[in-house]
Amino acid sequence: MKRAIWVFGLLAMGASACATASKVTIANRLEAAGLSRENSVCMARELDDRLDDEQLAEFARFTVQVSRSDTAKGVVSELRKISNPQIASAVLRSSIACAFGQ
């Protein structure tokens, strides 16, 4: 029984570390795409609250394309390619929340 609790604890810590890594990755890539550091961190924090770990990791993978865009139009074009409606909605709501300082 103790072993099962220990294994579960390690798995939970691993999932938490992945979510934290995704959040940092998202913040860095959004900043590379042209957002201010403050807005990038805000959006990553908001997305972490709105998405589960798998969705957060999916968006982190998606941001590789966004960070390579060199214009605002290119960033918007890439964001329109998000196929998961929950992620797209969370990105939109997070950007609005951060724009208005919530």
Give pLDDT, residue 9: 43
- C-beta of residue 56 within 8 angstroms of C-beta of residue 24: no
Statement: residue 91 has pLDDT above 70: yes
Domain count, the chain: 1
Q: Which domain holds residue 55?
A: 2-99
Cα–Cα distances in Å, from 4 out to 9, 17, 20, 24, 55? 8, 20, 24, 30, 27
Helices (H) and strands (E) in the chain, counts: 5, 0
Residue 90, pLDDT > 50, answer: yes
What is this structure's pTM?
0.71
Residue 70: what pLDDT? 59
31-85 pLDDT tens trace: 888 888 999 999 999 999 999 999 998 888 888 877 665 566 676 677 778 888 8
